[in-house]
Amino acid sequence: MTSKSCLKRILVARHQRSLQSLIKHRLQLLPSRRSNTQTRLTKYSQVHKAVTKDGREVAVKIQYPEIRHIFPTDMFTHEVVLELLAIVFPDLDMRWMNEEFKNVLSQELDFRLEAQNGERASRNFGNNPDIYVPKIYHGISSSRVLSTEVIHGVKVTNLEGLEALKLTPKEVMTKLTNSLAEQIFVSGFVHADPHPGNVLVRHHPDMPGRGQVVLIDHGLYRELSNETRIFLCQFYEAATRRNFDQCKSLCDAMGISDWKIFGFFVLMRPVD
Residues marked active site are found at 193
The backbone region for 218, taken as left when phi is positive above 0, alpha when psi lies in -120 to 50, beta otherwise, is alpha
Distances (CA, A) of 18 to 64, 68, 113: 8, 14, 21
Taking the CA atoms of residue 15, residue 16, residue 22 and residue 25 in that order, the dihedral angle to the nearest 10 degrees is -140
Rounded Cα distance between 35 and 51, Å, is 13
The residues that bridge with 212 in the sheet, in sequence order, are: 202
Rounded Cα distance between 61 and 19, Å, is 10
Q: Does residue 15 contact residue 64 with C-beta atoms inside 8 Å?
A: yes
DSSP assignment letter at 131: E
Single-letter amino acid, residue 210: R
Dihedral sign from CA coordinates of 51, 54, 55, 59: negative
Q: Determine phi and psi for 86, rounding to 5 degrees.
A: -65, -30
Residue 149 C-beta-side C-alpha neighbours within 13 Å: 13
